[in-house]
Chain A
């Protein structure tokens, strides 16, 4: 059944699936955003514990979403994986390190005799939430700004910049996109914690903080959006496969794909709605509109980068080496087989949602945290 689909349809389908996983990951970075609040927003050890334990029930989902995002890109677009990971070496190694130190920090932070001390693990969580997210933003930013690589006749990559990927973090667009993601994660973090924690004092501060962080994110968002609709972009000629630069490429993409424009605008509006609900009403559910808004916004950005004859991983130094969803993908057979496996994804989402609902049916209280010897 799926095997009868055209290769290009499968390629588009898999760009959709990987974009969805990536967007869900960005939503789940409320964990990372929350981590940056531990040292600034919490006023006592108890409040710290509440935040860490609330996030601690979710951090592995975020981590796994990142792993799956990588795995799906590897399986569906192996040339991207090979080019970007093998080429932009230092940016990926840096991102990796921030997630390695995160993975041990929840479990080790408060354990007696933990060698590095509680504060070190809290700093690890902070680094993951700031540097980690900033660099992921910078890496995704290169989908629009391009990278410095060349592919040889055998599709093997050669990186032409000595910083091997870290140069992306010095491009204003990429930095602003990264910083926007950092503040967005903080917004989502405050919203999630508001919905998950039962502590009037802390919640009052979280509610304020969500609004402050939204305001802080706006200049970066504004810069990114203005750049995006005014910048030159990479385009591929569908007939000759030649890549060239055109003015206003992403604006053209937006106008040519109205659903994407609608997703972007409604996504951003939903993020704001969630924060306003959280700040100015008694509602504790702001995370849901903002979360959905985040997913829609990210999806629209991925679509802008990959659809409508756009190379999603363009090369600045050799336009013809740029990767499109068509030249970077797996074979027809592999994409078909993986599509069958992907049929299971809704079931996976369903049990995650069910467990989430059950776990969060009661908000987390200090009594529960201190009463459980397994608490983080």
Chain B
């Protein structure tokens, strides 16, 4: 199927996609959460008739708009890049992957696009209630668009509801409901959107804390903090809850990712959780080296988290790569052998079809069907290729989970101090509040690194390696576009930050109308 693989080109394509996705995800979580917060503030205005809530809503909306613009600009790049950089992927799984993208356009994007204009320019053209409805529609639209793209991403983590068609050489959908209702997709969605709510709460808290530190807009800032800290605390707890669920599903669908998250090479019974660890950089899958230079382990904890049962076995990287007969694990080494047979018999089938030799085609197809579930493994060069970069995933996971725990405490503190009316005096807490928004962005990126790098070398888990999913381009072409996007993103980010900072320093007064 693939004549030659240029690893440089695959890496450039991955770098370009990672750059775009990570950049896009700077803006998306804030959009997801801030849209809901704006709608909430406006609801308070409509219910109480108090104009100050309206000014509050309008101030946060103005920051939302700046952020939203770049989110839109980078979102379209991702859609295009599926085709431009992952052309083989687009053909081989487009029958399944395209559907959520199209549904996203029909059901979500038009909601956002249509009601966004009302939200910003319709204050005098629509009734109060209709305007409020529009603001909620923008919030719903943003979150619905997250739903559909995360369903698509969930399917990449755990492909179900389809079969391979050897005639067309692609996967075809059999069950849309299975794709939509997949546990990992739902868990992805709940975890990612609630983390967006969390980030938006951090953002509102940070800006308001800054106002309090500067002694400006005191009432405005305290009101904002009360709402944001409540929303943030609830979101942060929900993020932790869905994170736990997510890990539980990952053990079942992507055991290699979980093993990498924990730096677990040899599966044990029971398995401990590494609360803190320094990864040994020289450690390779299969060797006898110690995975950690130093570590603090909570005994038996990983068994409990991974299987919700004490003393159970959790597979390690070596078990998955070379198999473990005691626990019925077929190793990647074995899967590669099956996969290569599948690749050969698919080629034989195609050849026989072309030559019009029906009986040979039939024979090749029968052989192919025996091994077809391992087709993707046939393109891996060696068993250890199935191991993702362990230390990056290990550390990213700890950064994300550690910060997630910290945010719960932070919001609780803000809430308590706000209830006791002691916020303005508590300058150290306000300073931490300002800094925490940056930690929020780091946690967001770390989470996606765990999810996406943890899936390597697969574009579609177990089915399609990135080296096959790519487009037929030379690495120079992709490298050039990488740098074009990099330059563009840097310029856009500088402009965005400068505008945001200016808008914040101007404060809510300018928003009066």
Contact = CB atoms under 8 A, between A and B. Distances in A.
Interface of A: 53, 56-58, 60-61, 63-64, 66-68, 70-72, 74-76, 78-79, 81-87, 89-90, 92-93, 96-97, 99-101, 103-104, 106-108, 111-116, 152-159, 164, 330-331, 333-334, 337-338, 341-342, 344-345, 348, 351-352, 355, 358-359, 361-362, 368, 371-375
B117 interface: yes
A330 B83 contact: no
Interface centre among B83, B109, B350, B477 (most CB of A within 10 A): B83
Contact of A75 (B102, B125, B172, B506): B102
B105 A153 contact: no
Given A81-B90, A341-B103, A74 B513 contact: no
B481 interface: yes
B122 interface: yes
B472 A115 contact: no
Contacts of A153: 169, 350, 354
23 contacts: A53-B121, A58-B117, A78-B94, A78-B170, A82-B89, A85-B82, A86-B85, A89-B471, A112-B502, A114-B495, A115-B499, A156-B88, A157-B472, A331-B95, A334-B96, A334-B98, A341-B106, A355-B117, A355-B118, A358-B118, A358-B122, A373-B62, A373-B510
B114 interface: yes
Contact of A86 (B61, B87, B124, B176): B87
Given A82-B83, A84-B83, 5 more contacts: A57-B121, A156-B1, A158-B472, A164-B477, A331-B95
Contacts of A111: 66, 499, 502-503
A159 B472 contact: yes
A96 B443 CA distance: 30
Contacts of A81: 82-83, 90, 94, 98
B72 A374 contact: no
Contacts of B326: none
Contact of B176 (A68, A101, A337): A337
Contacts of B2: 156
Contacts of A63: 72, 76, 113
Interface in B482-506: 484, 488, 491-492, 494-496, 498-499, 501-503, 506
A52 to B, nearest CB: 12
A355 B169 contact: no
Contact of A372 (B118, B121, B496, B503): B121
Contacts of A93: 80, 84, 481, 484
A72 B102 contact: yes
Given A85-B87, A359-B121, A71 B172 contact: no
A374 B98 contact: no
Contacts of B473: 86, 89, 164
B69 interface: yes
A78 B86 CA distance: 12
B83 A74 contact: yes
Given A96-B77, A100-B76, A115-B491, A67 B106 contact: no
- For chain B, what secondary structure do more than half of its interface residues adopt (helix, strand, loop), or is it mixed? helix
A86 B88 CA distance: 8
Interface of B: 1-2, 58, 61-62, 65-66, 68-70, 72-77, 79-80, 82-91, 94-99, 101-107, 109-110, 112-118, 120-126, 130, 134, 165, 168-170, 172-174, 176, 350, 354, 471-473, 477, 481, 484, 488, 491-492, 494-496, 498-499, 501-503, 506, 510-513
A100 B81 CA distance: 13
- Centre residue among A97, A114, A153, A368 by max chain B CB count within 10 A: A153
A166 to B, nearest CB: 12
Contacts of A108: 66, 69, 495-496, 499
Contacts of A57: 117, 121
Contact of A78 (B90, B125, B477): B90
Nearest to A375: B121
Contacts of B86: 86
A345 B103 CA distance: 10
A71 B79 contact: yes
A342 B80 contact: no
Most buried by B among A56, A60, A92, A373: A60
A79 B105 contact: no
A374 B121 contact: yes
B87 A87 contact: yes
B513 A373 contact: yes
B65 to A, nearest CB: 6
A86 B174 contact: no
In the A-B complex, the 5 residue pairs with the closest CB atoms: A86-B87, A78-B94, A85-B83, A75-B98, A103-B73
Nearest to B1: A154
B125 A358 contact: yes
A104 B73 contact: yes
